[in-house]
Every structure is written in structure tokens, then in C-alpha cells.
């Protein structure tokens, strides 16, 4: 039994927006985007805004973190999945919940009070750093880049 065909998991505060919707999907050859986010899973307005930026050939599903853990293994191998989460803690919950995440692209984590900026698009606090380190211990490869053509940066070296 093979697991779900997750091409890449991306951490991005903005979830799906124009650049991500098109650039990453094309780069990966994905045909399904799974947005794993508790808030968005119940917010139809947000969902329709995200649907609007996606090409028609791409399906999107909006699941809570727990539902993603519960259903991801039912995905068909034909579904080439681009998994998008809002923050590193959600990525860790998915991984610990049995979602086979082996590669994470860190795209965008907004600066907030109490966070330190480690790149132009990524700011972290102690909880984020702890979650990144835990993912690393679990064998997840992580790179920081906004678009596929950016040079990969090792997030752990920046923390």
C-alpha cells in the first residue's frame, strides 16, 4: 500500500495566492491542492477567494488539520498533491499525525511582535524554531524559497 502522493508541503501565511497558485502548481505538476487549516476549512468566503486564483484544471480541498490527518491516506495515487499550511506548528501536527511529509518548502511567515526576521519573507519565534527542529529530527527536509526558481536556503542554518 503506497501512501498519498504528496509532491511538496509549503508553509505560507497567505496559503494560496496568485503566485503560489500558479507558479508552484505548474512547477510541481500538481493537480490537487490541499489547504490544511482549521479556520479556512469552515470559511467559504476565503475558500472561494482562493479558488479564484487557481487554474480550472486544479482542484482544491480545504480541510481542518485533523480531517487532513484522517483522510490523506485515502487519496488516490493519481492525485498529485500540493499540501499548503499556514504555519510550522500545523506542519508539525500533520507530520506527527501520520501525514507522510518528507519535504517542506518554507515560503512565508509574517513578521509579528516578538519574532525575529531570518529572511526577507520569514520571521520566527521560539515556538516556530522548536517546531522546525522537531521536524528536522523527524527527518523532514526543509528549504526556504518564495518561488521555485529561488535558490534553496537551509532554514535550520538561518534560525
Q: Which residues are catalytic?
A: 17
Q: Is 98 left (phi over 0), alpha (psi -120 to 50) or beta?
A: left
CB within 8 A of 137, min separation 6: which ones? none
What length does the chain have? Answer: 159
Question: For 134, how many CA atoms within 13 A lie in the half-sphere containing its CB?
Answer: 15
d(CA 16, CA 54): 8
C-alpha closest to that of 102 among 8, 1, 4, 3: 8
d(CA 104, CA 133): 13
> In DSSP terms, which residues pair with 9 in a beta bridge?
83, 104
Amino acid at each position: 500500500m503506497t501512501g498519498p502522493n504528496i509532491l511538496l508541503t509549503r508553509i505560507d501565511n497567505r496559503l494560496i495566492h496568485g503566485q503560489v497558485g500558479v507558479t508552484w502548481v505548474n512547477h510541481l505538476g500538481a493537480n490537487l491542492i490541499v489547504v490544511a487549516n482549521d479556520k479556512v476549512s469552515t470559511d467559504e468566503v476565503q475558500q472561494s477567494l482562493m479558488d479564484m486564483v487557481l487554474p480550472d484544471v486544479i482542484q482544491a480541498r480545504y480541510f481542518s488539520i485533523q480531517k487532513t490527518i484522517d483522510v490523506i491516506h485515502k487519496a488516490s495515487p493519481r492525485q498529485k498533491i500540493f499540501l499548503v499550511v499556514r504555519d510550522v506548528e500545523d506542519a508539525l501536527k500533520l507530520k506527527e499525525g501520520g501525514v507522510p511529509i518528507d519535504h517542506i518548502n518554507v515560503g512565508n511567515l509574517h513578521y509579528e511582535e516578538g519574532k525575529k526576521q531570518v529572511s526577507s519573507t520569514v520571521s520566527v519565534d521560539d515556538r516556530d524554531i522548536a517546531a522546525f527542529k522537531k521536524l528536522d529530527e523527524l527527518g523532514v527536509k526543509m528549504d526556504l524559497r518564495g518561488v521555485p526558481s529561488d535558490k534553496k536556503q537551509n532554514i535550520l542554518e538561518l534560525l
